[in-house]
Chain A
Amino acid sequence: DTGVSQDPRHKITKRGQNVTFRCDPISEHNRLYWYRQTLGQGPEFLTYFQNEAQLEKSRLLSDRFSAERPKGSFSTLEIQRTEQGDSAMYLCASSLEEGTGKYGQYFGPGTRLTVT
């Protein structure tokens, strides 16, 4: 399977704990995105990387959230001191950069976070 993969698929944590999610993009894709989706809503943009550089962060990404993409391959999203409002599906997507003629962002299966 050469699609986007995410780990873990489900995470249940207690309020105040830290959690970390991992995303492995499609191998030739140099752009990687994180989105958050709550029930009944479309995904909302959080941040994206081109190779290892983080190019934009949404205002939704509070200082409790941090994302990294060392060496421009996989990415991690960490949430510190989780709150119940962080409960959501965290989606990762990848794409080729603009100008390549190949379009579209391809999503992974998501990590469902439940904060109790």
Chain B
Amino acid sequence: QKEVEQDPGPLSVPEGAIVSLNCTYSNSAFQYFMWYRQYSRKGPELLMYTYSSGNKEDGRFTAQVDKSSKYISLFIRDSQPSDSATYLCAMSEDSSYKLIFGSGTRLLVRP
């Protein structure tokens, strides 16, 4: 079993929909949780960064962490076709240590 599990999708939604992306993990030592967006054949781009449990909002993006359930989520409001990409969750035990990634969820936002 992988340390971080993520549904590969693809997830197809109409423009304007609210998107929910999720990851589960098994290592209780993870404290830092990140979401990256990756366009085809490009490097991952850091979207959101959360420490420990709780919510964090940045524009149309909201990240949630529930450490008791070992479950993290990323919500995208008012989704746009330009949001079509692969979304990767990543976690680490400290803020500058190696990241453990999920396999990514491919999102397609239809105009």
Chain A residues engaging chain B, CB cutoff 8 angstroms:
4, 6, 31, 33, 35, 40-45, 48, 56, 58, 89, 91, 93, 95-99, 103-110, 112
Contacts and interface: CB of A to CB of B under 8 A. Distances in A.
Contacts of B94: 98
A12 to B, nearest CB: 15
B90 A98 contact: no
Interface in B3-60: 4, 6, 8, 32, 34, 36, 41-46, 49, 51
The listed residue with most B CB atoms (<10 A of its CB), out of A4, A41, A42, is A42
16 contacts: A4-B43, A33-B98, A33-B99, A42-B4, A42-B103, A43-B101, A56-B98, A91-B43, A91-B44, A98-B96, A98-B97, A103-B32, A107-B44, A107-B46, A108-B43, A109-B42
A43 B103 contact: no
B98 A112 contact: no
B95 interface: yes
A58 B101 CA distance: 14
Given A40-B8, A40-B103, A103-B51, A45 B42 contact: no
A4 B42 CA distance: 12
Nearest to B32: A103
Contact of B98 (A45, A103, A106, A110): A45
Given A42-B103, A43-B101, A103-B32, A98 B43 contact: no
Contact of B101 (A42, A97, A99, A108): A42
A95 B49 CA distance: 13
B49 A110 contact: no
The listed residue with most B CB atoms (<10 A of its CB), out of A43, A56, A96, is A43
